[in-house]
Amino acid sequence: MKLLGHVDSLKSQTSIKFAAFIFISVASFYLGKHWSDGSRQLIFFSRQSPSGTTSSSSSIALSPNLNKEFNVSALIDTPEPPRSAKSEGKWASGSLKAPPPPPEFKIYGIVDENGTMSDKFEIGEFDTDLVEKWDNGTEVEAETGKEEVRSTFRVKKFGFCGENMREYIPCLDNVEAIKRLKSTERGERFERHCPEKGKGLNCLVPAPKGYCPPIPWPRSRDEVWFNNVPHTRLVEDKGGQNWISRKGKDKFKFPGGGTQFIHGADQYLNQISKMVPDITFGHHIRVVLDVGCGVASFGAYLMSRNVITMSVAPKDVHENQIQFALERGVPAMVAAFATRRLLYPSQAFDLIHCSRCRINWTRDDGILLLEVNRMLRAGGYFAWAAQPVYKHEEALEEQWEEMLNLTTRLCWNLVKKEGYIAIWQKPLDNSCYLSREAGTSPPLCDQDDDPDNVWYVDLKACISRLPENGYGANVAPWPARLQIPPDRLQSIQIDSYIARKELFRAESKYWNEIVDSYVRALHWKKFQLRNVLDMRASFGGFAAAIIENQLDAWVLNVVPISGPNTLPVIYDRGLIGVMHDWCEPFDTYPRTYDFLHAAGLFSIERKRCNMSTIMLEMDRILRPGGRVYIRDSLDVMDELEDIAKAMGWRPTLRDTSEGPHASYRILTCDKRHG
């Protein structure tokens, strides 16, 4: 009985364990299914209240994954089955999608991913805050797309100025500034008075109605279109002196005469050469200044004798005389003998000429003739054709005596007086000045006076000293002087790491090759090039190349004040030039140049003034149909091209001879508007 009871007891315990095992298994299965069949209510116990504070009683919170679905199979890595030939065919046929290509490796510099130099790269994004902000109608525009951000410059189109500005010269027509002058008795109103910064030209100066392309040289020496300079006052005032006359309704005619040489300039020039045989035009006499030039017939007829003349006159009652001169194709500038130095260097001119130029040379103890003396080359000549030379009226005879007295104190030698012309010669050195009696007026200038410093410099009542080493006096005759490095090359303030003569020759060779390529490739001889302006001339290599390539043009070489003063070298070569600041307007009439050349100008001047200011001034002085060549660094070209388009020019960006990877480009522009 005991054994039977023990067996029953074991059966009972086994049954209980088996029942418990079955129960746990069923419960586990149920719970597992409950968690994995889509039900999302996982319950957690917490001792924290919903507000975040600790509670003594337990609370129940739902899982944060409530109502979220998870694709667990996507988290399991499955090895890619090997491709068979059949599957390859499916990739090719497009029945199966190919995996996306790896992201493109973009290079943002000149070094590639292997650390080697490469010319295949992209420009990265830039900080738009660093983009230069323009004035004068310039705005910066950003365009944004879905896949790229592209920033471009756009310049607002410039409009035309009023008809009353057709002949506007900003620094000489500044009426408000002229009204504020304390005195005008010495000619101050004819000097430069530029508009204040920000108040300059902001529009395109229009041409007169009926404007025509200029008559080509040499025909233009004798006739020009009436509509291009539609003014008849000179005809009325000077027609009887053979200055100018009307030819029909559409032209002006220039007989070649002047107030003091009514029978023609050629006869007058022959007379001067006979008076002083050493005045050999086109040989020892190459560069001439004609003061009070009228319509520049004196300079026009000297050109056939290989002489280049700077013809100057103020914008006075005969205000269009310089405009007529430039329309004829003769070098000329608006300039006045008043209170400041003229913008030409010392010892610039081999001969200075004044024929009835209406200047009182002896006023203020001869300060104006002292300015002539500064610009006249050592050993050079001053020719004066005026009434005091030949008339025997008491007042005129007094003027002649005053002139004789002054020129004697200046150590000038009266070489010849014949008829109505008197010719003096300047000494070759300072010996005469130093041998004068003590206290003789005018005195020599101080040793520290720079006679080549001319930009807004007042006239000085002293005699400019000649260099003790003879620099400036010993120039070779023309045409040899064009390519011979002059002595004054050594006095130019430049940083030169090689011999200056080699630098001079290298520049001449450089420009000669470039201009030669322009003539051959761009057919310059077919262009109507006559009046040319080199806006940054250096030693005048570009102008020399124009002569060497036998282009029938003359070049005015501009030396910016932002660089070294190379004007003495330019004049010693037998060329002409002027000092200027391109942040200010130029002293010439609108539409007076056929061709503007600017090499390396904008990359320098952009640090000082707005590039659109310079470009608008270029448009003012450029004739309709004229051309512009800008040779400069690549970083200024986009801006210049946009400004050119905004002015109505037709720009073309070209590679230099160095090729497309050079840091320089050439921007050629045609002015199409009138």
SS3 per-residue string spanning 599-617: ECCHHHHCCCCCHHHHHHH
Q: Which helix (H) or strand (E) holds 56?
A: strand 54-62
183-199 tens-digit pLDDT: 999 999 999 999 998 78
The residues, any chain, with a CB within 8 Å of residue 536's CB and separated by 6 or more, are 558, 559, 560, 563, 598, 599, 600, 601, 604
What φ, ψ does residue 515 adopt, rounded to 5°? -65, -40
Residues 407 and 509 in one domain: no
Domain-embedded: residue 134: no
Residues 419 and 450 in one domain: yes
Tokens of 477: 């005759």
Nearest to 508 by CA among 478, 477, 549: 549
- Which residue reads 């206290």 in tokens? 439
Which of 425, 448, 474 terminates a domain? The answer is 474
Nearest to 456 by CA among 596, 338, 610: 338
Calpha distance 651→648 (Å, rounded): 9
Residues 487 and 539 in one domain: yes
Domain-embedded: residue 498: yes
Beta bridge partners of 389: none
Residues 498 and 553 in one domain: yes
Residues 283 and 329 in one domain: yes
Calpha distance 276→298 (Å, rounded): 18
Beta bridge partners of 43: 62
Q: Residue 553's domain spans which residues?
A: 475-673
Tokens of 559: 């030396």
Tokens of 468: 């003790």
Nearest to 278 by CA among 78, 426, 430: 426
Residues 490 and 636 in one domain: yes
Do residues 363 and 304 lie in contact, with contact meaning Cβ atoms separated by under 8 Å? no
What φ, ψ does residue 387 adopt, rounded to 5°? -60, -40
Calpha distance 140→529 (Å, rounded): 36
- Strand 593-599 and strand 531-534: pairing? parallel
Tokens of 543: 């102008």
The residues, any chain, with a CB within 8 Å of residue 101's CB and separated by 6 or more, are none
Calpha distance 328→530 (Å, rounded): 10
Can you give the CATH number for the domain in which 485 is found?
Answer: 3.40.50.150
Residues 310 and 426 in one domain: yes
What's the pTM value of the predicted model, to 2 decimals?
0.78
Nearest to 291 by CA among 264, 329, 322: 322
Domain-embedded: residue 660: yes
Nearest to 674 by CA among 589, 588, 591, 585: 591
pLDDT at 260: 77
Q: Which region, left, alpha or beta, applies to residue 538 given φ > 0 means left and ψ of -120 to 50 means alpha?
A: left
Residues 435 and 564 in one domain: no
Which of 474, 502, 532 terminates a domain? The answer is 474
- Strand 554-560 and strand 593-599: pairing? unpaired
Calpha distance 491→154 (Å, rounded): 45
Domain-embedded: residue 648: yes
Do residues 40 and 68 lie in contact, with contact meaning Cβ atoms separated by under 8 Å? yes
Sign of CA dihedral 315, 318, 321, 323: positive
Provide the 8-state DSSP code for 316.
S
Q: What is the dihedral of CA 550, 512, 493, 458, to 10 degrees?
A: 30
Nearest to 340 by CA among 308, 377, 385, 374: 374
Residues 446 and 510 in one domain: no
Residues 639 and 522 in one domain: yes
How many domains does the chain divide into? 2
Calpha distance 543→512 (Å, rounded): 9
Tokens of 492: 């130019």
Residue 303, CA atoms < 13 Å, CB-side half-sphere: 22
Domain-embedded: residue 430: yes
Residues 547 and 663 in one domain: yes
Calpha distance 320→324 (Å, rounded): 6
The residues, any chain, with a CB within 8 Å of residue 645's CB and separated by 6 or more, are 155, 651
Residue 168: C-alpha distances to residues 158, 194, 203, 638, 643 (Å): 17, 12, 12, 29, 21
Residue 563: C-alpha distances to residues 326, 494, 605, 628 (Å): 27, 9, 10, 22
Domain-embedded: residue 595: yes
Residues 426 and 557 in one domain: no
Domain-embedded: residue 323: yes
Which of 474, 507, 541 terminates a domain? The answer is 474
pLDDT at 46: 45
Spans of the chain, pLDDT less than 70: 1-15, 18, 26-154, 239, 497-498, 674
